[in-house]
Amino acid sequence: MRTSNMASKPRWLPLESNPDVMNKFAHNIGMSKSWQFFDVFGLDPDLLGMVPSPAVALLLLFPINEKYEAYKKEEQEKIEKEGQSVSPKVYFMKQTIGNACGTIGLLHAIANNTDVITVESYLKTFFDATKDMTPDQRADKLETDESISAAHETSAQEGQTEAPSREEEVNLHFIAIVHKDGELYELDGRKRFPVNHGKTSADSFLQDAAGVCQKFMARDPSELHFTMVALASAQ
C-alpha cells in the first residue's frame, strides 16, 4: 500500500508501506543501520511480541475518508477548546507536499528518537537546520531540500507495487506515533498540532501505540486497509 495524496504545493510520488523500501531510504539519508523498520502483523500481544525490542516509533497507514475527516474535525475542535499538554521536545512538522506523508512519518519517527538513534549525512543536516523552527517552517524547508526529495523519489519507485502518478488520488495516509517525556504522541502533518494520547513509557510504548491504532480501526470497522510498521533496534 502507498501513502496519501493531499492538495498542496509540490507533489511527490507516493511511498510504499514496505520496510525494505523504508529502510533503504532511511539508511541512504543517514539513519544508523542499527535501527530498522519492521512489519507489525497484528495488535494482539503475541504478534506485538514478534517486533524487536526496543521499538521507539510506530507508523500507521490508514484510509482517509469522510468518516475519518469528520472525526478529525471533531477532535481538533475538542483539543482547541479543552487544551492539551505537548512537550517542547516533540519534533513536529506540517505536510505541505502532496504524497509526502510517508517521508514525513519517517522523519517524525527518527527525529523524536535522536537520543538513541545516530543520524548522519542528509538527516543530520536537516534536523540540525530545523531543530528550532516552527512546524510550518520545517515544512517549507522540506519543500526545498533536494537531497531528501531525490532520495524519496528513488525509494518511491522501488516498491513491490507500481508507483501511482503524482496526480493520482491516493486515499491512504501515514502518521507516526512516538514516546516523548512519558507521553504518547500522534504526529500527523495534516493536523494543526501533535495529539497527546496519554501516559506511556519505554517498556509499554509498543502496546500503548497499538491501542491508538485499535481506536483508528474501531472507528471504521468495515475498512481493511490498515498497515503498521515499527521502528526498532536491529541489534
CA nearest 197: which of 209, 181, 188?
209
Q: What is the pLDDT of residue 170?
A: 57
Q: What is the pLDDT of residue 1?
A: 43
- State how far the Cα of 182 lies from the Cα of 18, in Å rounded to an integer: 29
Q: What is the pLDDT of residue 16?
A: 80
CA nearest 60: which of 17, 24, 96, 103?
17
pLDDT tens column, 157-207 = 775 554 444 455 557 899 999 999 999 999 999 999 999 999 999 999 999
Listed in order, strand segments (DSSP E) in 23-124 are 35-40, 55-63
Q: What is the pLDDT of residue 5?
A: 41
Average pLDDT of 63-87? 93
Q: What is the pLDDT of residue 186?
A: 98
Domains and CATH numbers, the chain: 19-233 (3.40.532.10)
- Which of 108, 173, 179, 213 is catalytic? The answer is 173
- Which of 101, 108, 152, 179 is catalytic? The answer is 101
Is 108 designated active site?
A: no
Q: What is the pLDDT of residue 6?
A: 45
Name the residue type at position 217: M
Question: Rounded to the nearest 10 degrees, how much is the dihedral formed by the CA atoms of 222, 224, 227, 228?
Answer: 40
Average pLDDT of 119-129? 96
Is 152 designated active site?
A: no
Res. 122 pLDDT band, cuts 50 70 90: very high
